[in-house]
Amino acid sequence: MSVSNNNYIASLLGLAQRAGKLSSGTVAVLKAIDKNRAKLVIIANDISDNSIQKIINKCKNKRIPMIKFVEKETLGHYIGKGLRAVISINDQNFATTILKKWEGEIL
């Protein structure tokens, strides 16, 4: 992924957090998925799939796109928090914009 796209996505994550359009942490993300608010789930690339298998299964069942992006520490930093293994984007516009800039695999 290009540095400019990475920076752009990082900025969007910060904006989504400040706008209240983001959930972070396993419990909050599961709640967002269950309430049909999650439009995109972002998983830290240094977390094992086994650790968040429940989220992965729910996303697949509800056809919510997932991407693996940066490490836990960096993901948390982008949203002004501590370590975060998983976050959800709960706004379609933010999710669409992030996916347009995303150059990696969509799970």
For the chain, give the percent of residues with pLDDT over 90.
85
Task: Please indicate, yes or no, if residue 64 is contained in any of the structural domains.
Answer: yes
The torsion angles phi and psi of 81, rounded to 5 degrees, stand at -125, 180
- Segment 6-15 mean pLDDT: 95
What's the total number of domains in the chain? 1
Within a domain: 106: no
Arithmetic mean of pLDDT, 86-104:
96
Residue 11 lies in a domain: yes
Indicate whether 70 belongs to any domain.
yes
Domain interval for residue 37: 3-101
CATH number at residue 66: 3.30.1330.30
pLDDT digits (tens, 9 = 90+) for 26-75: 999 999 999 999 999 999 999 988 888 999 999 999 999 999 999 999 99
